[in-house]
Amino acid sequence: MKPPRRCKQILQAGLSTLVMLLVSGCLLETQVIQVTEVVPVTQVVPVTQVVLVTQVLEVRRLVDVTSEPSLTPTPGEALTVTVQADRDWQPAGYNVPAYALLTLTVSGEWSYNNRGGDSYVVGPEGVPGGSGGWLNSQCWPPPMPLASQGALVARVGSAVPFVVGETLTQRVGGGGPLSFRINDDCMGDNAGSLTVRIGIQP
């Protein structure tokens, strides 16, 4: 069956009038339609946004043994720490076992008044032959007011501090973190450091 003339006109119109064929009933089941209209794809969407990673973040894990005592030395093991003259109590970073025999050997010099020249430079025993009677807590209370000014003092946990001097061997009571500092009431004018070698025996 041939389509009427009106349908021929619609068919020749091309693809844009395909809807008209369906509405007018001109599209037959046996009829093959030749599409003469080509719709070119001319629009290309380019990807112009490129994410460039130029910043690399380096993550470092810093372990400060002076702030978090967590290591227990093996019996017979020697450990070395540095104690600064211008700081308060400085944890050595090690736990001393209860009733352990503690051996401390100290070297170096520091100053309890860096504005006074060499006359205020002392070793770990502090002012030779002196006592701390003149430590009058001008800045804050010294750890041992009656001990020599400038001496190295230590404590285990929260126990009573003790003078170390150049060398000391003593058995501790309760265990705990070992810490050191200079015996002084004002540390803002201090300078220098001491090196402490720590030995632990059961």
Which DSSP string corresponds to the chain? -PPPHHHHHHHHT-GGGHHHHHHHT---TTPPPPP---------------------PPP-----TTTS--B-PPTT-EEEEEEETTSS-EEEEEEEPTT-EEEEEEEEEEES-TTSGGGGEE-TB-STT--STT---SSS--S-TTSPTTBEEEEETTSPPEE--SEEEEE-SS-EEEEEEES-S--TT-EEEEEEEEEEE-
Higher-scoring residue by pLDDT: 54, 48: 48
The per-residue pLDDT for 105 is 97
Q: What is the pLDDT of residue 116?
A: 73
Say what the pLDDT of residue 141 is. 83
For the chain, the domains span: 1-39, 78-201
State yes or no: pLDDT of 39 exceeds 90.
no
- State the pLDDT at residue 44: 53
Count of other CB atoms within 10 angstroms of residue 145: 16
Query: Does position 20 have pLDDT exceeding 60, yes or no?
Result: no
Kindly state the percentage of the chain with pLDDT values over 90.
44
Task: Select the more confidently predicted residue: 49 or 84.
Answer: 84
Residue 57 predicted with pLDDT over 80: no
> For 25-36, how does the pLDDT look when each residue is reduced to its tens digit (9 = 90+)?
554 444 544 544
- Whole-number pLDDT of residue 162: 96
Q: Which two tokens stand for residue 178?
A: 């070992």
Is residue 70 pLDDT above 70, yes or no?
no
Predicted local distance difference test score (pLDDT) of residue 75: 60
pLDDT tens sequence across 124-174 = 999 987 655 556 667 878 899 889 999 999 999 999 999 999 999 999 998
Total-model pTM? 0.62
Whether the pLDDT of residue 11 is over 60: the answer is no
Q: What is the mean pLDDT of the chain?
A: 74
Cα radius of gyration (the chain): 44
Q: Is the pLDDT confidence value at 63 over 50?
A: no
CATH number for the segment(s) 78-201: 2.60.120.430
